[in-house]
Amino acid sequence: MSQLEDAITPHERAAAAGAARKADRPLRIAIFGFGTVGSSVARILVESKPDGLELTHVFNRGVARKRVDWAPCGVMWSEDADAVLNSGADVVVELVGGLDPAGAWVRRALENGKSVVTANKKLIAFHGVELERLAAARGGHLKYGAAVAGGIPVIPGLEQGLAGDRIERIEGILNGTCNFILSRMEAGAEYAEVLAEAQKRGYAEADPTEDVGGFDARAKLAILMRLALRVQVDPEEIIPKAITAVTAVDFSYARDLGSTIRQVARANRREGRLAATVGPMLVDRRSPLAWSQGTENMVIASGRYGGDVVFSGHGAGGHPTAVAVVSDLLALAHGSRRVEIPSSPARVGGEFEVPHFIRFLVKDRPGIVAAITGALAAEQINIRAILQKPGYPADGLPFVVTVEPCKSSALKRALEPVRAMDCMLAEPLDLQMLE
């Protein structure tokens, strides 16, 4: 090999090969997983006939029940993953999800020199760096524009449109199921009935823990942190908080404060410290995050030079996610390269210094407020307001205390003795306030 050839990177060789192949024939596409998103990807490939792409294989367990009459007769339908991975397909589109066996299939495809397009946020959150290195070493590509916010081009926007800025904070609504539930509760519905509706509509699984517990949004936040803040974090270091403790009365108090409640994923880097969290938060109605309704997603990236950039749209559903997948496929077909964004391993904490909304539910008796204010004062936390709505019985009285910006750890310490008070009927609900 000549010195000139030595200087060419695997990415450049792959791009050159892709350009040569495009002139000769389209990229052959194998879809792994023919569910809601997989069938939508196939629809776009068949109906729109994007230049340079050809659907050739579909893999699914029990594939006979998945066959459709609108697919070209030349498509090979298979339930043998090995046969498809060893076929002449150029790109594997992985839409099965989860870490296993999807991770093993993605590795096999990359080891065979194929490129991979995936919407698998958990796989990318936990193993994305390793898989990107494998793709580069074998001359392929790994693209995952659909892994965060579905059809909203957040990942391409961070990789390319904002690559020249220094992003210092990122926050967003990353889970359409939680946003559907909370925006319906904002209108007056109760959690249980809205969850049942979300399950009926297919927005939520029979076991909704991944969504309502914040784990889905946590994986997506870890990906955004690598691209925006340029840090590689273990997603399990981000402690999520479930939305299940939020009630109608919390929305009522939030309205009085000119706010609403949304599940927000947020991360920032301040004075050399990295903090990240996911959970229900009080959002000022003037914030774009408060405008997001139903299954919509939204991401706000705050740069040192460019200021705030908002990405918003339909983040869930087969068609929006399929658009992001096909966009990645078109980028491969036309020789597009990912922007190499350097990142380094980092430890993440949950220490934010922000105002808090704390809702208590008590059996009323003298001295409750004095005990709470004393516990807060012991940690040097200043009270901003105390709110108590009329009309609630003394044996089930909800009231709210808001506090000035304080460290999360200090508030946690202050609430420990309060939780132990015999008048407490439920765990105090502590929500960060985004202002």
Query: Which of the residues are catalytic?
Result: 220
Task: Give the N- to C-terminal CA distance of the chain in Å, as an integer.
Answer: 59
- Cα(389)–Cα(124) distance, integer angstroms: 46
- Cα(37)–Cα(94) distance, integer angstroms: 10
Calculate the CA 219 to chain-centre distance.
6
In eight-state DSSP terms, residue 344 is: E
- Cα(402)–Cα(433) distance, integer angstroms: 9
List all residues 6 or more positions away from 100 whose beta carbon is below 8 Å from its beta carbon.
none
- Residue 308, classified by CB atoms within 10 Å of its CB into exposed (0-12), middle (13-18) or buried (19+), is exposed
Contact between 114 and 87 (Cβ < 8 Å): no
Place of tokens 């081009």: 153
Contact between 174 and 149 (Cβ < 8 Å): yes
- Cα(184)–Cα(198) distance, integer angstroms: 10
- Cα(210)–Cα(97) distance, integer angstroms: 13
3-state secondary structure of 13: helix
